[in-house]
Amino acid sequence: MIRLPEYREVCKKSLEMIDEAGIRLTLEDRKKMTAVDFGLSHIEKEGVQILTMFETDRIAGKILVLLPNQTEPEHWHPAVGDDAGKEEVIRAISGELYFYIPGEDNMKHGFIIEGKEDCYTMRNEVVLQPGEQLVLPAGTRHWFQAGEKGAVMYSFSTKVTDLQDQFTDPNIVRETKIGNL
């Protein structure tokens, strides 16, 4: 659950960060800004802001925003029906961005949310500077975090199947519930 004023505040802040990153948005785009708290009710710690630029039956393009030190929880995109699972390419636009994927533990820049070691099991760190990109094949377990400046990135992918995403944290609910006050 996220309260409406907080929801509006993180969306507003995220749009400002996209503007500062130099990405041109139409008015129609701006209305599409959303925030996801994963049902954990502390969006500034664990959450993400998403602006879907386009989404068809075959491909999608989104802008993702992380506020300073915000963390998107560990998850993966499983095969669904005939689909092999969502393949995703992240392209960093601005800020400081750390990805964690399968591989040896070389974690240096980011941090694990206190008491949630079991929910963040990938420790192979990939630092993405603006302009750098990372391909995440279907099924790749991953989580990511912004540094002190926050981060703006593109996410390009095959067909979106977000509601089928699998999370390491059993307390996560993918759909965001917005409370009135």
CB-count exposure of residue 159 (10 Å: 0-12, 13-18, 19+): middle
Question: Which range binds a copy of itself by CB under 8 A, 3-11, 16-24, 36-44, 168-176?
Answer: 16-24
Taking CB under 8 A as the criterion, the residue among 34, 41, 44, 61 binding a copy of itself is 61
Residues 70-129, interacting with a copy of itself (CB under 8 A): 87, 89, 91, 93, 129
In the complex, least distance from residue 109 CB atom to a copy of itself, rounded to whole angstroms: 19
Nearest to 146 by CA among 72, 92, 82, 68: 68
Establish how many alpha carbons lie within 13 A of residue 125's alpha carbon, considering only the half-sphere containing its beta carbon.
15
58 near a copy of itself, judged by CB under 8 A: yes
First to last CA, the chain: 11
Half-sphere exposure at residue 138, Cβ-oriented, CA atoms within 13 angstroms: 13
Q: How many CB atoms lie within 10 A of CB 75?
A: 19
Candidates 33-41, 51-59, 96-104, 161-169; binding stretch for a copy of itself (CB under 8 A): 51-59
Task: Please state, in angstroms and rounded to a whole number, the distance separating the CA atoms of residues 49 and 93.
Answer: 15
| Residues 125 and 100 sit within 8 Å (Cβ to Cβ) | yes
What is the smallest separation between the CB atom of 123 and a copy of itself, expressed in angstroms? 25
Choose one: 5-13, 72-80, 111-119, 130-138; the region binding a copy of itself (CB under 8 A): 130-138
Write the binding mask 17 to 46 for a copy of itself: x where contact by CB under 8 A, - elsewhere.
Answer: -----xxxxx--x-----------------
Which stretches of the chain bind a copy of itself, using CB under 8 A?
Answer: 22-26, 29, 53-54, 56, 58-59, 61, 87, 89, 91, 93, 129-133, 135, 156-158
